[in-house]
Every structure is written in structure tokens, then in C-alpha cells.
Amino acid sequence: MAARQGALPKARGDARPTALAGVRGQHSQAADPLELDRLIHERVRLGIVSALAVNGSLTFTDLKELLGATDGNLSAHARRLEDAGYVRCQKSFESRMPKTEYELTKLGRRELQLYLDHMEAIISATRDA
Amino acid sequence: MNLPAKKFNNPDQGPVALHDRAMDNLRYIRETMQRSASFTHVSGIGGVLMGLIAIAAALAASGASGPSMWVGTWLAAAAAALSAQALAMIRKSAAAGEGLLTGPGRKFAWNLIPPLVVGAVLTMVFVRAELIDQLPGAWLLLYGTGIVTGGSYSVRPVPLMGAAFMGLGTIAFFAPATWGDAFMAAGFGGLHILFGIVIWRRHGG
């Protein structure tokens, strides 16, 4: 297994935003080749980032319907992504109704790409095993 | 529903579990992207072509010698126009390197088809009942319905075009029968060309 793990990419470099420090601190920072970006790995957050990757922006309501999440659940997950700088949130009013729109930042797009690369590397490494 | 991330970090997990989890995650990402994406392969060029075919059909139908020839002219035009749009959509989706009937595309098709089937059935009923004068209104209204419902999975101009068709169809029912070809030309010709250009410019040909 060690040999296989060695084939996997080192997921994380040092040049990470400080906002991620708390998230990173949740699991071992040892040279763990299977280290995943926990922030994206969570299913609702992965859904938010994936949906935003193919849409310029999506409203809170769009995301809620798409992911089947509750207001509180989606709000909490979106906030974590926003705090980490993965998504940008813009609040406005439309016909006097509050409207919250999210869009993916460059960092968020890069992190999703890294996550995809990581998944592919796992599949590739285990297939070759 | 979500599987805890720690399973990835558990050294006891074998390669099969890792592989399955990774596959599951990739599948989830792809499905979420497909579900959330708008169907953008409705072709603006195809819309313009449909409009031009309809205007030619309106000119031909206005000189038709009888009801059968009039209905036949419009049905032939419908077949030609739908084929032109289908080919343009295949070309547009191929250029984007994406399948036409994946996710939103399939929903678009399934929402468009029922009103078109109803239109085909009502055409037979109206022809048998010699209610040819009512066909322009029925065709515009039902086509518009299909475009509005299917267009809810597409870019904004598509359902707006459907709503315009529905409005025009409703007016056509209450207009003099002799205006039928003019309504058909305005709807299937004018609206297709107008919205086709909008889609072409904003969302590609």
C-alpha cells in the first residue's frame, strides 16, 4: 500500500491561504499522501463548488434546490467556503426581496481542479495496484 | 449521504474502497455539474434558419389552392425547420465537445415533446372537423408551451421566446381567420429570427 500511496500526489503545498489554516489543522499535517482538501470533500460543499464551476453565478435558492439542502445547512457550508476564499458572495435586493448570489473564485476553481486531480490519482493508483 | 472523509485517511481501507469512494465523488461532481448547467445548445443560427423557412412557407401557404395544400405546406415547413434546428444543435454541441442529450438537454427534449405531440393530434382533429382557421393559434400556442417548459432548462431567451409564441397564439385565436398566415409568419418567422439572433450573439451560434 505504501508503494501505491507513493504514486499519489502530495495534495498540499505550503502556499495556502491563511484562512485555510483552521481547516487544515483538523487533520494531520504529516506528509500524508492521501490528504484531501476537507473543505471541498464534504458533500454539500463539493456540490456548491461543482455547480458554481459550470455557472457564472447561482443564487442561494438555486443552490438549495439543486443540492436539496436546508437553508441552515446550505448557509453554514457556503459560509465556510466563503471564509476560505473559495466562493464570493454578493447580497442585493431584487423587487425588494433579498437576493444572495455566489460565484466561484479563482482559488476555489483551482482547489476543485486539485481535488479532481487527487481523485483521478487515487483511481489510477488503485487500478494499477 | 456523505461519506466521512476520514475513510480516505484510514490506512486500513483497501484500494478497492479508495477507488470506489473516488469514483463516487467524481460521479457526484459530474452529475451536479450536469444538473446545474443550463442547456445552451439551442442554436441561434438554427433559430434564424427556422424563421427563414417559416417566412418562405407563409408565402407559399398564402397562395395554397385548398386546405389540404395549406396544411401540407406548413407541415413540410415544420419538418424542415425542426430538422434544421436539430442539425444546428448537433453541430453546436459537437463544437463544444459535449453530448446533446445529457442532463439538461434530455430534460429540454422531454418537456418540449409532449406539447408537440398534442399539436399533432389536434391538427388531425381540427382538419377532420374542418377547423383549419384555428390551426395557427393552436400551433403557436402549443409550440410556445413546449418552448417555455423545455426552455426552463435553457438560457433565458429560450423560455422568453416561448412566452412570446404563447401570447401570439392566444391573440391569433381572436383575430380574423384571414390573418392566419401573417400570424404564422410573425411567430415562426419573426420570433425565431429575432430570438435566434439574440441567442446567437449571447450564447453562440
What is the arithmetic mean of pLDDT over B69-84?
96
B97 burial (CB, 10 Å; 0-12 / 13-18 / 19+) is exposed
Placement of cell 382533429 in the chain: B125
Q: Which of A:1-30 have CB within 8 Å of B? A: 1, 4, 27-28
Nearest CA in chain A to B9: A34
Within a domain: B18: no
What's the CA gap between B37 and B33, in Å, rounded?
6
What DSSP string runs through A73-91?
HHHHHHHHHHHTTSEEEEE
Is pTM beyond 0.95? Reply is no
pLDDT in tens, chain A (129 residues): 344 444 444 444 333 443 333 333 333 333 344 556 788 999 999 999 999 998 778 889 888 888 889 999 999 999 999 999 999 999 998 778 888 999 999 999 999 999 999 999 888 888 776
Structural domain count of chain B: 1
Q: With bands split at pLDDT 50, 70 and 90, how would you rate the model's confidence at B1? A: very low
- Taking contacts as CB-CB distances below 8 angstroms, the residues of chain B near A46 are 25, 28-29, 32
What's the CA gap between B195 and B155, in Å, rounded?
11
Neighbours of B148 (CB within 10 A): 21
Q: Name the DSSP class of B186.
A: I
Within a domain: B3: no
Within a domain: B99: yes
Within a domain: B105: yes
What residue numbers bound the domain in which B105 lies?
A: 32-203
Question: Is pLDDT larger for residue B80 or for residue B205?
Answer: B80
Within a domain: B68: yes
Within a domain: B156: yes
**What is the model's pLDDT at position B196?**
94
CA B39 to chain centre: 10
Strands (E), chain A: 58-59, 87-94, 97-104
Q: Name the DSSP class of B13.
A: S
**What is the model's pLDDT at position B18?**
78
Within a domain: B138: yes
Hey, what's the cell of A108? 476555489
Among B39-43, B112-116, B121-125, B158-162, the range scoring the smallest mean pLDDT is B39-43
**What is the model's pLDDT at position A95?**
77
- Cβ contact (<8 Å) for A66 and B35? yes
Sign of the dihedral defined by the CA atoms of residues A63, B34, B44, B149, in that order: negative
- A105 three-class SS: coil
Hey, what's the cell of B39? 442547456
A-B contacts (CB, under 8 Å): 77
Mean pLDDT of chain B: 87
CA A49 to chain centre: 5
Within a domain: B15: no
